[in-house]
Amino acid sequence: MSAIVLFIAITSLFANDKNGINEKAVTSFQKEFQNATEVSWQFSSQFVKVSFTLNEQFFTAYYNEEGERLAIARNLRSLELPMGLLEELKSSYKNYWITDLFEMHTPDETAYYITVENADQKVTLKSVGLREWMRYKVKNK
């Protein structure tokens, strides 16, 4: 635990001088995720992105300038999807393989995003409720 605190402190000092760290976001993260490990920070003018592991699961959290958490995402396995979404995926994209899957939680909604591919296309889908997918992005190969 002390190694994590030291890492964050060193990262904070370095980023304050070089990258304009957002102390409010760091404080909020430390309060919310005290047991996080493998913490990695990315700072931009619009938000702070924190990647970390908690309870052996990988997460990414996003904070605004005020230190408020905007969203949190976690990687999933396909069997962790709600049954309705899994059935729709198997029915509509049976000739595709999954290359990315995560759950995104914001104050307004929880949605699932999945990227599936075949030889010709790469398709990113977003859940609509717990039973349907909508095409979010399509890229031909």
The pLDDT tens digits for 61-94 are: 999 989 999 999 999 999 999 999 999 999 999 9
Q: Structural domain boundaries of the chain?
A: 2-73, 78-140
Distances (CA, A) of 105 to 23, 71, 76: 23, 5, 13
Beta pairing, strands 121-128 & 110-117? antiparallel
Give the C-alpha separation, 11 to 40, whole Å: 9
CATH no., domain 2-73: 3.10.450.360
pLDDT band at 21 (very low <50, low <70, confident <90, very high): low
What was the pLDDT predicted at 11? 43
Query: What is the third-level CATH fold of 78-140?
Result: Nuclear Transport Factor 2; Chain: A, (3.10.450)
Say which residues have a Cβ less than 8 Å from residue 66's Cβ, sequence separation at least 6.
24
Q: Minimal CA–CA distance to 19: which of 49, 58, 61?
A: 49
Residue 114 or residue 11, greater confidence: 114
